[in-house]
Amino acid sequence: MKPIAIDLRCEYQPHPLGLGVRRPRLSWKLAGTDRGLRQTAYHLQVSEDESFQNLIWDSGEVLSDDSHLISWQGPDLMSRQQGCWRVRVCGGQHGWSDWSESSGFEIGLLEPSDWSARWMTSPAEPSSLQICPLFRKSFTLSGHVVKARLYTSARGLYLAWLDGQPVTDTQFMPGWTSYQHRLQYQTFDLTDQLSDGEHVLGLMLGEGWYKGTIGFAGHDGIYGRQTACLAQLELTYADGLTERIVSGGDWRTAAGPVRYSGIYKGEYYDGQYEQPGWTQPRAVLNPTDWQPVQLADDQSLDRLTAQEHWPVRVTESISPRQILTTPSGEQIIDMGQNMVGWLRFHLGGAPGTKIRVEHAEVLDRNGEFYTGNLRTADQVCEYHLTETTPRWYHPHFSWQGFRYVRISGWPGELNTDQLRGDVLHTDMPRSGFFECSDPQINQLQKNIVWGQRGNFLDIPTDCPQRDERLGWTGDAQMFIRTACFNYDTALFFSKWLRDLAADQSRERGVPFVVPNVLDDDQNFGQSYSSAAWGDAAVICPWTIYQCYGDRGILEQQFKSMKDWVEYIHAQGEQPWLWNTGFHFGDWLALDAPADGYVGATATDLIATAFYAYSCRLLAEAAAVLGRSESAQYSQWHEQIVHAFREEFITPSGRVAVPTQTAHVLVLAFDLALPTHRQRIAADLVQMIHKAGDSLTTGFVGTPYICHALSRFGHHDLSAKLLLRRDYPSWLYAVDHGATTIWEHWDSIRPDGSFWSDDMNSFNHYAYGAIGDWLYRVVCGLETDSSRPGYRHSLIHPRPISALTFAEARLETGYGLLACRWETHETTLRTDVKIPPNTTAQLTLDLQDPGDARHVMIDGQLLTGLCALPGEMTEDWLLDWQLEGCQLRLTLGSGSCRIEQPWNTGDDNHDNQ
Ligand code: BGC
């Protein structure tokens, strides 16, 4: 069958509306039944409409196997321009395919001059706890509308309605960016909703991140004291005439029923202040409630930027698992899952009914409702009901991190049918799945995914519940590779990294949190540039490039990456060590002093190790971009590594800092001489044994520890760490009922007590970075870094004897990549699936080199398919080689099953 292009994407999205670029990148996948499917050429057409008569860009036939993020070669696109596009592909001997189905995109407003809307605010401002104002505009249309686009934004958070209906299911708009520099607007297609007659646009405005309290120092008004909103409805009539309805002095505003709404605090809804029908035409409203709006003091439009990634929305609604009664007699709703979002309830109340909804992540050791770890975040929602007819209620501009809910004031019996947990997060496409034969590890994987969902709420946050919920750079850096397996996070991180760059200091340092809302006076005397935190500036773009083959992110971030490395370069007492300044160190490591946060690993070792790593990645990024700086940074890297060895490794190869994390970093970042590496790995193993076969690493060492062990011949010990059930271990938390990842190895101690109140989140994804090792090592899904985005995959599964199978699936930019291994008595069976238009090298560890003779591929002996290694075989089995105990097969696309002799009980078939 001829291959055909499917799943057309423009800037990663199927039909993007309101794109903020003039030269969008186009991608497609190949579909076909053959193995070894390859594209040899493509032909792209972009047209003004479906007819493909008026072409904007015709690529002609291009000899290329590229199908992912093809750069735009047509003329620059303009604001509001629409494009319809299709592609046909040539697949080797099959010749040219038919045209694909067409797909579309539309550009947003690219220039401040595209806006005639004015920022409007409520005359009632400012106050410390803000009533969320309503804004209303009624307008009458005459004529047939063929196109209607609404562009909206806010300094604060907004919701929008047209004629009583929400214009979108998206929440927490316009999202959180570095508002001093960038503010997103959203685009909505309202064509089908607008006809002749009267219509009403309504907006509700909350404080959000812009004006509300944010950060643990309790500051508010960080970006400004005046919230405001902006709306521009652009109409095109059948006769070609256009009209705009824009926010401005002719709108009316009233106080609404949301009396306050704070991200940490929660929300207070008072039904007495409802304005029934206010978003509908012909509403009967009390004119004294509705005042003319005030135009905002700041009318600037230059920071506006189109929505850059997937929006936040409710992606799932869960029913409570049970209603339980605590020993003290309180009724508590148990959602069965530590989740992020809000509780929605269905109720009608006698006028005056007051409902109070409190949220907690855990119960204490006595089984009582516990909110101590929230610190100053109340997470309380209150409702004053006036409506007797039952309806659903939920907060508007506040979310909570919770598993347990305590409701007071509920009339009659609590009933789970009236309660739902709405799960909210950035609605990224799910891309990866991991499963194995151990249910506890599967629960760990689930916990990692839930941790990602709850903490990818427009930005990557450390935690979703206490008075932080901040874009901690270190946490994001540690987790990003895992994140890229579970979900398609390319757009999510592209947006956040723009904010990171925007918030870099004048000295080029990187803030602890992005968007930056901390100031130097808070806690640390510094709010910028800790090692391993600031390195997010380099590690995150590099990881996105690796996982999605997105060269654009390197172009976008190159200056920021370079600035960060240059910043470090200027810090040390000598240029090749970073031995000054404040660092979080190996945060929360178990070798920290009692009740302290910073682990025992010397911070100058950590800082210099990350300096070397970031410098190496920067040199590689420069090389990818063909930039001349590459040689200079490679040379810097050598000098840093040299200085590191002089300072931290003895001439005989002993690491001078005797901690697990020090050894892990030396191995993970290739800092030791190759001749010393085995010894350092052996020393690490000894340290782990000494600690009772357990890890003592914190945020910095943990993401790399299993990688370092597996790579240097100690895969069995990695497996042991993973499978360990006692404290400290990943499964300790799972055995203690965790449904997300805890901040501490002992957030709940074996005796049921808590680590502490002040730093104890039960939904902190940092230690979830083990997910990367499950996908990348246990199931062996890796990309070749010179052909990133899984254009050429390096699949090297590493079975664990305690498991009978493990499987990972990943939807890549080319299609599904998967690997499953399973042991059957004396056989190891490995099933792989390679996406069309890609190749893979599959490495299998044999227990004996002679086993190669018995290896079967799809039921046929490998040696029968092709007697000699290196000889060309089928068009999908491109090559094979045997090197020691490693069998390497080079495969084209498609599925195949490989069987090899296997003696279970032997974990350590290690090769480097
Ligand atoms: C956050 C962390 C963060 C850390 C800095 C904490 O309060 O929750 O996850 O990385 O501070 O060390």
Residue 912: predicted pLDDT: 37
Average pLDDT of the residues in 271-298: 95
Q: Which of 267, 435, 468, 782 is catalytic?
A: 468
User: What are the backbone dihedrals phi and psi of residue 629, each rounded to the nearest 5 degrees, phi first?
Assistant: -65, -15
Average pLDDT of the residues in 382-395: 95
What 3-state class would DSSP assign to 88? Answer: strand
Q: Residue 181 belongs to what H/E stretch? A: none
Give the tokens for residue 249: 């002095």
In this predicted structure, the answer to whether residue 836 has a pLDDT above a threshold of 90 is: yes
CA separation for the pair 98, 105 (Å, rounded)? 21
CA separation for the pair 430, 437 (Å, rounded)? 22
Residue 638: predicted pLDDT: 98
Q: How does pLDDT run across 768-799, given as a tens digit for each residue? A: 999 999 999 999 999 999 999 999 999 999 99
Residue 869: predicted pLDDT: 65
Residue 418: predicted pLDDT: 97
Residue 676: predicted pLDDT: 98
Averaged pLDDT of the chain: 95
**CA 764–ligand 1 middle distance (angstroms):** 9
Q: How does pLDDT run across 140-176, given as a tens digit for each residue? A: 998 999 999 999 999 999 999 999 999 999 999 999 9
User: Which residue has 């929505």 as its token pair?
Assistant: 307
With a pLDDT cut of 90, the percent of the chain lying above it is: 91
Q: Of 14, 92, 5, nearest to 44 (Cα)?
A: 5
Nearest-atom index, ligand 1, CA of 743: 9
Ligand 1 pocket: which of 376, 455, 468 to mutate (most atoms within 8 A of CB) = 468
**CA 737–ligand 1 middle distance (angstroms):** 23
Non-local CB neighbours of 398 within 8 Å, separated by 6+ positions: 261, 262, 263, 264, 265, 266, 267, 342, 381
Give the tokens for residue 532: 């391993």
Average pLDDT of the residues in 706-715: 98
Q: How confident is the model at residue 711 (pLDDT cuts 50, 70, 90)?
A: very high
With a pLDDT cut of 70, the percent of the chain lying above it is: 97
Q: How confident is the model at residue 868 (pLDDT cuts 50, 70, 90)?
A: low
CA separation for the pair 502, 514 (Å, rounded)? 9
More confident call, 93 vs 601? 601
CA separation for the pair 823, 801 (Å, rounded)? 9
Average pLDDT of the residues in 191-213: 96
Q: How confident is the model at residue 520 (pLDDT cuts 50, 70, 90)?
A: confident
For the chain, the maximum distance between any two Cα atoms, rounded to a whole number of angstroms, is: 90
CA separation for the pair 198, 350 (Å, rounded)? 35
874 is catalytic: no
In this predicted structure, the answer to whether residue 523 has a pLDDT above a threshold of 80 is: no
In this predicted structure, the answer to whether residue 908 has a pLDDT above a threshold of 90 is: no
Residue 505: predicted pLDDT: 86
**CA 308–ligand 1 middle distance (angstroms):** 26
**Beta carbons of 497 and 540 less than 8 angstroms apart:** yes
Residue type, 455: N
Q: Of 670, 640, 668, 472, nearest to 565 (Cα)?
A: 640
**CA 374–ligand 1 middle distance (angstroms):** 14
Nearest-atom index, ligand 1, CA of 216: 7
In this predicted structure, the answer to whether residue 719 has a pLDDT above a threshold of 90 is: yes
Task: Give ligand 1 pocket residues (Cβ under 6 A).
Answer: 462-463, 468, 472, 474-475, 584, 587, 764
Average pLDDT of the residues in 271-278: 95
Non-local CB neighbours of 215 within 8 Å, separated by 6+ positions: 222, 467, 468, 470, 513, 517, 518, 522
Residue 851: predicted pLDDT: 94
Ligand 1 pocket: which of 214, 472, 535, 742 to mutate (most atoms within 8 A of CB) = 472
Q: How confident is the model at residue 848 (pLDDT cuts 50, 70, 90)?
A: very high
Q: How does pLDDT run across 547-574, given as a tens digit for each residue? A: 999 999 999 999 999 999 999 999 988 9
Q: 840-872 burial by CB neighbour count: b if 16+ within 10 A, else e?
A: bbbbbbbeeeebbeebbbeeeebeebbeebeee
Average pLDDT of the residues in 74-97: 94
Residue 157: predicted pLDDT: 98
Q: What is the DSSP letter of 293?
A: P
Nearest-atom index, ligand 1, CA of 475: 10
Nearest-atom index, ligand 1, CA of 512: 5
CA separation for the pair 865, 847 (Å, rounded)? 22
Q: Nearest C-alpha to atom 3 of ligand 1 is from which residue?
A: 472
Ligand 1 pocket: which of 587, 757, 764 to mutate (most atoms within 8 A of CB) = 587
In this predicted structure, the answer to whether residue 465 has a pLDDT above a threshold of 50 is: yes
**Beta carbons of 775 and 28 less than 8 angstroms apart:** no
Q: Which of 382, 620, 743, 782 is catalytic?
A: 743
Q: Nearest C-alpha to atom 1 of ligand 1 is from which residue?
A: 462
**Beta carbons of 234 and 219 less than 8 angstroms apart:** no
Nearest-atom index, ligand 1, CA of 463: 8
In this predicted structure, the answer to whether residue 906 has a pLDDT above a threshold of 60 is: no
Q: How confident is the model at residue 872 (pLDDT cuts 50, 70, 90)?
A: low
Nearest-atom index, ligand 1, CA of 587: 12
Average pLDDT of the residues in 221-246: 96
More confident call, 891 vs 906? 891
**CA 605–ligand 1 middle distance (angstroms):** 20
Q: How confident is the model at residue 352 (pLDDT cuts 50, 70, 90)?
A: confident
**CA 462–ligand 1 middle distance (angstroms):** 7
CA separation for the pair 748, 732 (Å, rounded)? 10
DSSP H stretches of helix in 190-270: 208-211
Residue 777: predicted pLDDT: 98
CA separation for the pair 509, 501 (Å, rounded)? 10
User: Which residue has 């078939």 as its token pair?
Assistant: 909
**CA 472–ligand 1 middle distance (angstroms):** 7
Q: Nearest C-alpha to atom 5 of ligand 1 is from which residue?
A: 584
**Beta carbons of 345 and 392 less than 8 angstroms apart:** yes
CA separation for the pair 92, 713 (Å, rounded)? 42
468 is catalytic: yes
DSSP H stretches of helix in 429-520: 439-455, 473-486, 490-502
Residue 904: predicted pLDDT: 78
Residue 873: predicted pLDDT: 59
Residue 277: predicted pLDDT: 95
**CA 135–ligand 1 middle distance (angstroms):** 38
Residue type, 487: Y
Q: How confident is the model at residue 911 (pLDDT cuts 50, 70, 90)?
A: very low
